[in-house]
Amino acid sequence: MKKIILGLIALGNVGFASSTSSLANVTAENTASFVRERESTRGKKIIYVADEFHKMATVPSFTFGAPSGLVSSWGVAFAGLSGRANSEVKDGAFAMGMGFGDSDKIGGSASLGIGSIDPRDGGAFNRGSLNLTVGHHFKEMGAGLSLGVNNIDLWHKDDLDGDKQDPSFFTSFTKLIPNEVAPVAITGGLGNNGYVDITTDSDRKNKIGVFGAVAVYVLPQVSLVLDYTTGITTFGTSLVPFPDYPVTLNLGAGNLFKQGAEEKVSFVGSLAAAYVF
């Protein structure tokens, strides 16, 4: 894993109502964290099963909503598309961004999250937010520490989400644990507002919430991820369909313990790609 980690931009949930935008960001950021320049594929099939991590352009995600302690660097751009659905709600979002600086010193990223992409829920592209993160990658430790802010409101439809347009601040730490059987990535951190338990009724910007995620790489192209963010537990799998290309697909079940007003388990999915320039 160490050979292909370049760093990751870190953003997170801004509340379960807008978790699709967060999922789009996080999937894209996880993809960008491992992306490397693609080697020649001459004589090699695009679709195959890789037996080693270094034979891949990227590796599966390690969070579903929790911000990562690993940050990106200049030279990586990314984009992601996500969706969430249950018996009552269907929503989608889009995110795109790029890295800056040098993660071995001080790096980070900026991204734009846009939702919803479905005109049936009040209008397409009716909210947009800016997300920023900075951090440092401790290469010898296989770890990273980041600070960030997300949901800096750029625009939103009148009365959309009420007073939930306040930004959310966070700090996160990620530790990679390589081994020959099943590499593990552990993430944990603190944040206010959008990282506070979703069942909290008021004054979330003056409260602190915890988040975290554990990912186990059962195969170079497959990880299993358990994520806890805003009091919402998500479990799913992340796949890299084409080892030679930095494309990641996430599929999972969100809100397993039926927290918040919806009290329903949702299907969540996202697709993201990164580009080295």
Q: To the nearest whole percent, how much of the chain has pLDDT over 70?
A: 83
| Residue 18 pLDDT greater than 70, yes or no | no
| Residue 13 pLDDT greater than 70, yes or no | no
DSSP 97-145: EEEEE-TTSSEEEEEEEEE---GGGT-TT-EEEEEEEEEEEETTTTEEE
How many independent structural domains does the chain possess? 1
**How many angstroms separate the CA atoms of 252 and 270, rounded?**
9
∠ CA(98), CA(253), CA(6), 5° rounding? 25
**How many angstroms separate the CA atoms of 193 and 97, rounded?**
23
Across 50-54, 154-158, 160-164, 251-255, the highest mean pLDDT is recorded for: 251-255
User: Distances in Å between the alpha carbon of 165 and those of 15, 154, 194?
Assistant: 10, 9, 10
- pLDDT tens digits, 200-227: 877 788 899 999 999 999 999 999 999 9
pLDDT recorded at residue 258: 77
> What's the start-to-end Cα distance of the chain, in Å?
21
* Mean pLDDT for the stretch of residues 153-161: 69
What is the extent of the structural domain holding 100?
Answer: 2-276
Burial zone of 140 (CB within 10 Å; 0-12 exposed, 13-18 middle, 19+ buried): exposed
CATH at 270 = 2.40.160.40
| Residue 196 pLDDT greater than 50, yes or no | yes
- pLDDT tens digits, 64-83: 989 999 888 899 999 988 88
| Residue 228 pLDDT greater than 70, yes or no | yes
- pLDDT tens digits, 26-74: 778 778 777 877 665 666 677 888 888 888 888 899 999 899 998 888 9
**How many angstroms separate the CA atoms of 123 and 209, rounded?**
31
Q: What sign does the CA torsion over 54, 108, 212, 61 have?
A: negative
**125 or 229: whose pLDDT is higher?**
229
